[in-house]
Amino acid sequence: MRPTIDVPLTLDRESGVPLAVQVAVQLREAMRTGGLRAGERLPSTRGLATLLGVSRTVVTDAYQQLYAEGWLDGRHGSGTYVADEALPYEKAEGRDVRARRAVHREEAPPGMVDLRPGRPWVFGYDKAAWRRAWRSAGQLPLNAFPDPYGHPELRELLAEHLRRARAVPVGAGNVMVTRGTGNGLDLIAATLLGPGTRAGVEEPGWRAAPRIFASRGAEVVPCPVDEQGVIVEALPDDLRVLYTTPAHQFPVGGRLPIPRREKLLAWARRTGAIIVEDDYDAEFRYDVAPLPALYGLDPGRVVLLGTLSKSLGPDVGLGWLVAPAVLLDAVAERRGRLADRTSGPVQRAVATLLEGGDLDRHLRRMRLEYARRRAAIVEALGPYVRGDTAGLHVMVALPAGVAPGLVREAGERGVLLDTTEAHHHGPPRVHGLVLGYGSASRADVRRGCAVIRELIPPGAA
């Protein structure tokens, strides 16, 4: 166990500012300036309350606020820590901008139920098919000059996969093979963005998107969502790029309905913006018919991103970027200058999985298995569940302020959870849990949901 860091705090009892707010402000400033660093252990609520001569409630309220903002992280049996992503603020163009870094999420400790989102079940693949794919990849000679677009054969197979699985009428000339969604989004950002540009992200949404856009010099603009997806009327007219997840919004879980899709495309045509459509888990749908991809409705204004990280596993490291030919050429040119490439052997292995139908068979098996896990969540937490028609996660809606404490208590009882508050770029506006069921067995899903149900306060629905 790491030693507890000394926290120098001073409270002004004559001030009109509540003591809990004073504690939160000073701790937040210490984390901004580097006085408190990622991974450092804070005093317990009881210990800090004794040190400051205040009630334990004061410190508890301050900690809960910082949990909700993503500054603190609770670890089972070992106390409260500065979150791994809490880094000092950096000055940029005269404004305070919170700098974040992507961090490796540790595996769940033995015996813990991991219901955090973002991971698929990586144990259900056909091992014989996997070995065949890699034997095929081993026969491919090394290429001294990798094609920035990807192997022509795989591009053809991916185009056919998209026509079959997503009803996207696309040719191989519009497909680029990437290393995954993050890589594809970064290539688009590197091509279209820079200082002086503005890029929209869903609020709340995938936390990597604003980091990627900011790293390419763009001003990040949070765009609010509701239970159906991004709110078109709230979009500003000066965005160069808008990142969105219309098939299954992350983390709220809504599916963008057809009328709103048409409004969104009309907005893009009017403003000249490029919509980046992340189709990250569209293969998994439950009890609903698929909605057409935005790209299929207007290929001239949409870039479609896809990945195998949810359907097969993130370790494969392969995805695709579908765009108009002119834009795809610009991305390929930029990619060459960045010396960015997708592994040739990985491309050959995935091509073999597609050629033999092994990937389709795997998707059918996993769609059935995920449907059973999703059904277990709906059965246990039905009144609280939102966004359960697709994907590998649901949202559990809760009143503001409930989720951070519930996460801590669940951790003490062996269940790892995530909050919607942690997926905001700005102040939290959507409250609850983001419940992932990809990496947990059905038995663990039931066990975790039972704990959650016991911890939800009465009348929270």
239-262 pLDDT tens trace: 999 999 999 999 999 999 999 999
- Sign of the Cα torsion 409, 411, 413, 416 reads positive
Rounded to whole angstroms, the Cα distance separating 162 from 197 reads: 31
Residue corresponding to tokens 């849990």: 433
* pLDDT band of 15, cuts 50, 70, 90: confident
Judge whether 374 lies within some domain. Answer: yes
- Sign of the Cα torsion 203, 207, 208, 213 reads positive
The angle subtended at Cα 60 by Cα 56 and Cα 61, nearest 5°, is: 120
* pLDDT band of 461, cuts 50, 70, 90: low
Judge whether 328 lies within some domain. Answer: yes
Question: At 350, which amino acid appears?
Answer: V
Residues 146 and 74 grouped into a single domain? no
Residues 260 and 341 grouped into a single domain? yes
Provide the residue range defining the domain that includes 379: 113-123+360-455
Rounded to whole angstroms, the Cα distance separating 448 from 259 reads: 37
What's the pLDDT score for residue 102? 33
What's the pLDDT score for residue 95? 34
- 3-class DSSP state for residue 367? helix
What's the pLDDT score for residue 403? 94
- Report the domain count for the chain: 3
Q: Beta strands 319-322 and 302-307: pairing type? A: antiparallel
Residues 244 and 364 grouped into a single domain? no
Single residue among 339, 358, 377 that ends a domain in this structure: 358
% of the chain at pLDDT higher than 70: 91
Residues 251 and 386 grouped into a single domain? no
Task: Name residues whose C-beta falls within 8 Å of residue 136's C-beta, 6 or more positions apart in sequence.
Answer: 348, 349, 351, 352
Judge whether 310 lies within some domain. Answer: yes
Residues 133 and 222 grouped into a single domain? yes
Rounded to whole angstroms, the Cα distance separating 124 from 395 reads: 25
Question: At 30, which amino acid appears?
Answer: A
Residues 117 and 245 grouped into a single domain? no
What's the pLDDT score for residue 357? 93
Contact 291, 256 (CB under 8 A): yes
Selection from 320, 316, 315 nearest residue 282 by Cα? 320
What's the pLDDT score for residue 92? 33
Single residue among 330, 358, 386 that ends a domain in this structure: 358
Is residue 165 pLDDT above 90, yes or no?
no
Is residue 103 pLDDT above 60, yes or no?
no
Can you give the CATH number for the domain in which 269 is found? 3.40.640.10
**Ordered alpha helix ranges (H), 255-309:** 258-271, 294-297
What's the pLDDT score for residue 275? 98
Which is higher by pLDDT, 143 or 384? 384
Is residue 104 pLDDT above 70, yes or no?
no
Residues 275 and 402 grouped into a single domain? no
The reported pTM is 0.76
What's the pLDDT score for residue 90? 37
Is residue 1 pLDDT above 60, yes or no?
no
Rounded to whole angstroms, the Cα distance separating 82 from 161 reads: 44
What's the pLDDT score for residue 96? 37
Judge whether 8 lies within some domain. Answer: no
Rounded to whole angstroms, the Cα distance separating 169 from 291 reads: 14
Judge whether 107 lies within some domain. Answer: no
Residues 184 and 324 grouped into a single domain? yes
Residue corresponding to tokens 């926290």: 7
* pLDDT band of 84, cuts 50, 70, 90: low
Residues 263 and 332 grouped into a single domain? yes
What's the pLDDT score for residue 100? 35
What's the pLDDT score for residue 74? 67
Single residue among 313, 343, 358 that ends a domain in this structure: 358
Selection from 253, 266, 213 nearest residue 374 by Cα? 253
Residues 351 and 380 grouped into a single domain? no
**Ordered alpha helix ranges (H), 102-231:** 127-138, 152-165, 181-192, 208-215
Which is higher by pLDDT, 41 or 304? 304
**Per-residue CA distances from 281 to 166, 318, 383, 400 (Å):** 11, 14, 24, 28
What's the pLDDT score for residue 113? 92
Can you give the CATH number for the domain in which 432 is found? 3.90.1150.10
Judge whether 9 lies within some domain. Answer: no
Judge whether 7 lies within some domain. Answer: no
Mean pLDDT of all residues in 15-24: 85
- 3-class DSSP state for residue 203? strand
Can you give the CATH number for the domain in which 24 is found? 1.10.10.10
Residues 235 and 185 grouped into a single domain? yes
pLDDT tens per residue across span 384-443: 999 998 899 999 999 999 999 999 999 999 999 999 999 998 889 999 999 999 999 999
* Both structure tokens of 269: 């045509």
Judge whether 426 lies within some domain. Answer: yes
Residues 289 and 379 grouped into a single domain? no
Q: How far is CA 323 from the centre of its chain?
A: 22
